[in-house]
Structure 1
């Protein structure tokens, strides 16, 4: 099922499968800002990564002496969410544990995903609730892909702060123990496919909490992620999109021991508690 929200400036569409955002359109210019999901390159638009971000070593983990398997980025993106609230400019989706999820992730939980339009800005919120009686380890992340209608090299990313970006190259989808410096030019990263020949750029930390996407040096959107300590930037070589990915957590490292409670970057949520985080996309 597809749900839509609209105001005088923006119209968005969300698929109840995965509570996945599938469209951000400017009502004034009719420009579409989200990737269309052409499977020739990548058949997603903006999947939600939960309860893990990235890949686990051997797609497996251990918890309390038991072995479990989880696919890359977890299972939420493939689950049907329920709409629990819908207003003129805000909608909230909910996913709770079920038999299938308990077999791979043994926790009673609720994941609420909200989308709210405030003038020319879309705010995406995540509320993670631990309904179980034990500490719940989890990660969560966004994965929105923004459509690029011009040549890839016409675009650049302008970071909020001047900084040296330290990327951790992936080895077999795991975080390696190597690092690479991503050079900025006056806070800007000109886009080129050679940056992504070895998959995503993975940043365990960044001083910047805002990034602008520039088209021929003119800002077209403003991406804000104040609550997220980790970040990924990704495309497929030759594809006309760029993914800006705010993460709470990241893939296993090559040295990971498989214990989910000890996983690097994991968040431990106490019993019967919740955590709320958000990011936003401002169309300029």
Structure 2
């Protein structure tokens, strides 16, 4: 089911399936900022990644000696959320455990996702609570895909913090920490189809309190800013070799398994741990200009 947030500047559509951001339109120009999920290229808009980000090695993990299987990016994106609070400018969705999730992730939990529309900005807040009696391991990430109206070659992404970052390549969808190189963010990253020939471009954010990205086209007024708070990693992704007219900017509080990971979720790079009855909050802001 689609639900709507709206103000003078933007109309936002969100889907109860996956609590997924599905559309952001400029009310004056009718410009659509979000990729419209053409399955010939990639059939999603902006999935929420939980309770893992990326892929598990061999698609399984061990917890307390027991084996659990889970697909890439986890299950939140494919589950129906309940709406627990809503008005014209904000909405809060909630997902809790069910028989299907317990079979792959043995925790009682609450994942609340709140979207707040303020002028030309959409604020996204994630609240994760451990409702179980044991320590809970998890990751969470955002995966918004931004619509491109021209060739990808006309767009660039600037990491507004500047500096240099560890670039973490993927090897069969796993993080290859044995082959890290350096990404220079002192100049904008010029996008092209070839930029994605080795899959997503992933950086370690150096522990920044805030990491800010700008997607822009030098020949137009188009710009999207993504400001993520305390994210550990970030990915930039589009299709290759298919010419999908979108690019994703993905703040992550977690990352795909290392190529030499031993399957123990407790030892997973980037994993977060939450004690019983505790909660953790994460957020990002997206400005549509």
- TM-score w.r.t. structure 2 length? 0.95
* 1:161 CA displacement: 2.2
Report the 3-state secondary structure (helix = DSSP H, G, I; strand = E; otherwise coil) of the residue aligned with 1:268: strand
Deviation, structure 1 residue 10: 0.7
SS in 1 for 2:199: coil
User: Which segments of 5 or more consecutive residues in structure 2 lack a partner in the other structure?
Assistant: none
Q: RMSD of the TM alignment (CA)?
A: 1.3
SS at match of 1:277: strand
CA distance in 1 between partners of 2:83 and 2:144 (Å): 21
Equivalent residue number for residue 223 of structure 1? 226
Q: Is the 8 A contact 2:148 2:245 kept in 1?
A: yes
Tell me the secondary structure at the aligned position of residue 34 of structure 1: coil
1:151 CA displacement: 1.2
Per-residue deviation, residues 12-50 of structure 1 (Å, max 9, x unmatched):
001111111100111111100000100111000000000
Alpha-carbon distance between aligned partners in 1 of 2:272 and 2:162, rounded to the nearest angstrom = 28
State the match for 1:197 in structure 2: 197
How big is the shift at 1:261? Answer: 1.1
User: Who is 1:171 aligned against?
Assistant: 171
- Counterpart check, 1:142 vs 2:129: no
Q: How far apart, in 1, do the equivalents of 2:89 and 2:161 lie?
A: 32
Q: Which runs of 4+ in 1 moved over 6 A?
A: none
2:182 equivalent in structure 1: 181
Q: 2:88 matched to which residue of 1? A: 88
Distance 2:184 2:8 in 1: 39
Paired residue for 2:263?
258
Distance apart, 1:219 and its partner CA = 5.4
The one-character-per-residue Cα deviations of 1:93-152 (angstroms, maximum 9, x if unpaired) are 000001111111000000001111011100011100100111100000000000010111
Aligned residue number for residue 124 of structure 2: 124
8 A contact 2:2–2:13 mirrored in 1: yes
CA distance in 2, matches of 1:28, 1:224: 24
Give me the TM-score of the superposition, normalised by structure 1. Answer: 0.97
Gaps of 5+ in 1: none
Whether contact under 8 Å (2:51, 2:76) holds in the other structure is yes
Alignment check: 8 A CA contact 1:97 1:108 kept: yes
SS for the counterpart of 1:209 is strand
Query: Per the alignment, in what secondary structure is the counterpart of residue 48 of structure 2?
Result: coil
Could you say which residue in structure 2 is the equivalent of 1:61? 61
